[in-house]
A and B are shown apart, each in its own frame.
Chain A
């Protein structure tokens, strides 16, 4: 074995401790540059080059597109250098990934220079130095971001602060010069084409992640939003989730199948089928824009994609009334973005079905925050379900408002869900372990409305109503013994005078009113956390 191979394949000091003794190294290193890393953090995914849209800078991820190369302790110099080869302003960084939840088939680079299959983690001997894991993985598995120097760390933190969607500070940042000293090249880079190219865009899964985020953000507005969020968080197609049976609601059924590896249901009704086609059409406009090198930063028009699908579907429908309905809808949608003659009230009075209203909202507003802020008395929670998935498909996880993405636990849940769905779609047989707990809206945590509250729910509801100043929701009950009471009024107010002691003073919450208030309220982040704490959810 040459010196070079010695460096790459011999045991390093770290492997003599802990989990490594059993051959189960769980922390692996991905060399990249600061801009690719920031992109992955924003996307919520450690992904192949196609997951970067039009902004991928050459790095080790390009070795076998669609396979994530992960190194043990020694990162060969060529892998570090490749990451900064494309531009002067790039800086070497290393992402340390915690693979403790990963099980399934991966590949290793053997000392013979060949790629070998390995069942992770049981098949690890402890001597492996390079793993190839099918992309993508959750970005929340990045346990730490490692820099060659303090200056590099500070400069990267500074650059990240100029972006709205890079959660760099959510990760531990450390200076580890040793990792950047660059091991001898050894067998790196390996021979080309030893692994099949399996890279793919991530807009489809990013759409599901964004829809989950939006359904959560809108979740207090109604039970249908809660049910839809529950369905989208579950990857198994067409199965009842808790009390929600997607088979009973065509639109929810369509959404559930869209967010799972299942194909379209031939028995699906026209609105469900159309919604799925429209969601796919919106995602495809983004994929086609990325694939066209001449398109620069410009994307194809998702509104046009929707209108094209409505027109194509209308032509193929046998029933005249459906054709006419789709034509009317398309005409109104065009009017929304042009100089149409309708106000929002006119449009919602004319279009009463969630499918049409979701599209009306999609044409009325551009970004997700605008949807979260949108309020109109005629709209139902099911209208918002349709709108949430449409907006999610257009914006993707990266386009969600920072305020939504930053909700504690949401990023972990969405990253895992997106990566797990991609692994299912690509049939890699990788298991990413149990999904982090789904983040539930307060409505769900305090519900269902018809059931009596538990003491923590009562306490949480009281906290909520008190801090929101919902006087009409709170009642104070003073339980008095039998007897006569006098009302005394003076300059300080009214006083009820009674003999002996008051038995109890309790605060009661009107459940029905609280849920009505919750529908239209924007709960401050701090209060949301307080209410969750009262419920024992952190």
Chain B
């Protein structure tokens, strides 16, 4: 199977704003705010690459920077993007290791869960410690910075870290212990006015960015991407209804997804499902299809938190089936939001609607080229109320 190519950007690919952020001084604290697709993660990776390439290695052979990501999937994706040449770590594991090496004692956790750091105890322990060595990796680059708690930033500042490059989007918070932009700015002593906003779309094709904009919940701390007026496109996102009274049934939809994957085996399709049952249903149907294709059956893989993990390569084409909560920060050529009728929300509850909008905002903007929404025709679809009705933004097909 041919590989997907990750590549450095061409000079024309980065906007002036992105260029400005890319060329910020190596030293100091920088807070970059931008919606999905504004290229903030790419800029963060380019910054990591520069550290890695230009004298970033200290005398003891260790890099002088670290690139922190939220979870293992993002770690895999980042490492593949940089061909392994990046000192990347999942943030929790990295913090525990920093705590251990600095204070010579284990990082406090709650309920024996290694991922549940007891931030209160962390703060108390650091405050009591008198002799703290200087950080081994003084430059810290953080992707999806809104997903780490404020006490994490405070702890790093207490440990003596001085040089931060944090990219964040308040609209994409998925954790309970998240930070607001103001929290991060406060912890790192950055004047909130000095944060840099990226507002132009870098990754997504226009129709995707346009659809994502429909789900953007206005928040002064994390601005929505600015876009021009509606432009006609052959790749306008489509909502496909299947089943009773429609042209396609479930098997036919799956067959067409497999054929699309077969037409370009290097492309990565992300099928994002609302829950585990739906994920398993789609996965089984995709894997068991008897279809005869030009390139044989495409690679079909999955990821679910807490399950044994297999092939998680993002560098190869095929179909990746994941749950919505695992999708953040990832990137696919084509994104299919499967069975959107299974998402639950009460139309009269504005907070729920806003949460659902944020979730769709994140999921839709995982796509580089195309977005397809799928729903069963004979089921109620509570999220219909947040979907645009303008067919120039979201075409309907049944």
Contact = CB atoms under 8 A, between A and B. Distances in A.
Interface of A: 35, 38-39, 42, 53-55, 57, 87, 89, 158-159, 161-166, 292, 294-301, 303-304, 307-308, 333-334, 336-345, 364-366, 369-370, 373, 398-399
Contacts of A342: 259, 263
Interface of B: 2, 5, 7-16, 19-20, 22-24, 46, 49-50, 53-54, 199-202, 205-207, 209, 226-229, 231-235, 238, 240, 253, 255-257, 259-260, 262-264, 266, 293-294, 369-370, 372
A343 B10 contact: no
B293 A343 contact: yes
30 contacts: A53-B12, A55-B14, A57-B16, A87-B16, A89-B19, A159-B23, A162-B46, A163-B8, A164-B8, A294-B227, A294-B228, A294-B229, A296-B226, A297-B201, A297-B202, A298-B200, A301-B206, A303-B233, A303-B235, A304-B234, A337-B234, A339-B372, A340-B256, A340-B259, A340-B263, A341-B259, A344-B263, A364-B263, A364-B264, A370-B264
A465 B209 CA distance: 50
Contacts of B53: 158, 161
B229 to A, nearest CB: 7
B19 A38 contact: no
B293 A54 contact: no
A294 B232 CA distance: 16
Contacts of A55: 11-12, 14-16, 19
A458 to B, nearest CB: 35
Contacts of B54: 158
A307 to B, nearest CB: 6
Contact of A162 (B5, B50, B257): B50
Contacts of B200: 296-298
Nearest to B21: A89
A399 B264 CA distance: 20
A301 B20 contact: no
Contact of B257 (A89, A334, A339, A369): A339
B229 A39 contact: no
A271 B206 CA distance: 30
A298 B227 contact: yes
Contact of B234 (A39, A298, A303): A303
Contacts of B370: 337
Contact of B228 (A298, A373, A399): A298
Contacts of B228: 292, 294-296, 298
Given A296-B201, A297-B15, 10 more contacts: A35-B19, A53-B12, A89-B20, A163-B8, A164-B7, A304-B232, A333-B234, A337-B234, A343-B294, A370-B264
A511 B229 CA distance: 58
Given A345-B294, A364-B264, A366-B369, A399 B233 contact: no
B214 to A, nearest CB: 16
Given A53-B12, A299-B206, A300-B231, A339 B369 contact: no
Contacts of B5: 369
Most buried by A among B13, B20, B54, B369: B13
Nearest to B209: A298
Contact of B11 (A42, A295, A334): A42
Contacts of A333: 234
B201 A370 contact: no
Contact of A89 (B23, B207, B259): B23
B333 to A, nearest CB: 9
A46 to B, nearest CB: 15
Contacts of A161: 53
Nearest to A34: B23
A298 B19 contact: no
Nearest to A35: B19
A55 B14 CA distance: 9
A384 B72 CA distance: 42
Contacts of A294: 226-229
